[in-house]
Structure 1
């Protein structure tokens, strides 16, 4: 089973290399996966812990998408935007993130909590 990337640089790329998909963390190397989906999932798990930028490439090398991930990143962006969560909202967010729900389920739960 492939080992997931544990980036500390805050920048990770997923690209096709020799018919398989690599999760690369700058000069530190990375991990190899049979599919792009598995590589992206591993990169997202790694970046969710410390935050950073994920660049996903197409098989031809062109950039498919770029994502900014992680709690620290969200905190920095919220600070720039002037957004501050109250204690109840922070608890809700923490509980939803720890629940094991998919991202879509998390969005639905948060949305439902704030509907009037």
Structure 2
């Protein structure tokens, strides 16, 4: 597998952990996240994607390997344009919203400032 994306979490919004715990979602956004949305986000330092995000690829969240189960139609565009995607930890194969990446983690996800987020095709 080839690494096609890597970013470091710069800051964690005050409501980001509740989104993870209550909604089973992680919201990523680049450094330019609007203030009203930033409180729910994990701000990341990179938007460069070097390949296609595919179902059955891998998302690594702070060392926790997650199988990619569904890729929304605008995930790549939003990630490279804004650094903004929603990661749903529900393992859905159907997908939901166009900007959502669905994954199946092997263990509970924990992210903090300094955590690495990687995608492998």
Q: TM-score by structure 2 length?
A: 0.21
Quick check: which has more Rg, 1 or 2? Answer: 1
The structure with higher relative contact order (CA 8 Å, sep 6+) is: 2
- TM-score normalised according to structure 1 size: 0.22
Give the structure with the larger helix fraction: 1
